Amino acid sequence: MKGLNKVQLIGNLGKDPEIRYTPEGKQVAKFSMAANRTFKNKEGESIDDTQWFNIEAWSGLAKVIEEHLTQGDRIYIEGRLKTESYEKDGETKYFTKVVAQNMIMLGSSRNGGADSDEDDIPF
């Protein structure tokens, strides 16, 4: 039986996407994304919790991201978690990112974050 590695997030871009190309010419877009939630603690106070995610998208999806997204835009991302490692000062460091496979634009910072039928385009 196969496993399942699936992530679904709704949030806002923390910065403009960074676009790069591999030596083979494949386009990759990288950006941070904040997902917020609010909950009440034991004392009944509302607590805002923001989690940050590093997102990576490839090829056609990277092109759409480059053309349409900027800091603050609200999106839905569906993808998978991927953990990678690197060496720093003789120590192995690990980090986890979301490799995006699908995206829906939910609102643009350019139109005040308002939802629009035109922005609800799945990729």
Per-residue pLDDT tens for 83-120? 999 999 999 999 999 999 999 999 876 654 444 344 44
Domain encompassing residue 43: 9-100
Top-confidence residue, 67 or 114: 67
Per-residue pLDDT averaged across 51-77, rounded?
96
Q: State the number of CA atoms in the 13 A half-sphere of 17 facing the CB.
A: 23
pLDDT of residue 108: 72
**Considering the domain boundaries, does residue 123 fall inside one?**
no
pLDDT above 70 for 70: yes
Residue written as token pair 């979301």: 98
**Considering the domain boundaries, does residue 65 fall inside one?**
yes
Q: Rounded distance, CA 31 to CA 19, Å?
A: 9
pLDDT of residue 90: 94
Question: What is the CATH number for 91?
Answer: 2.40.50.140
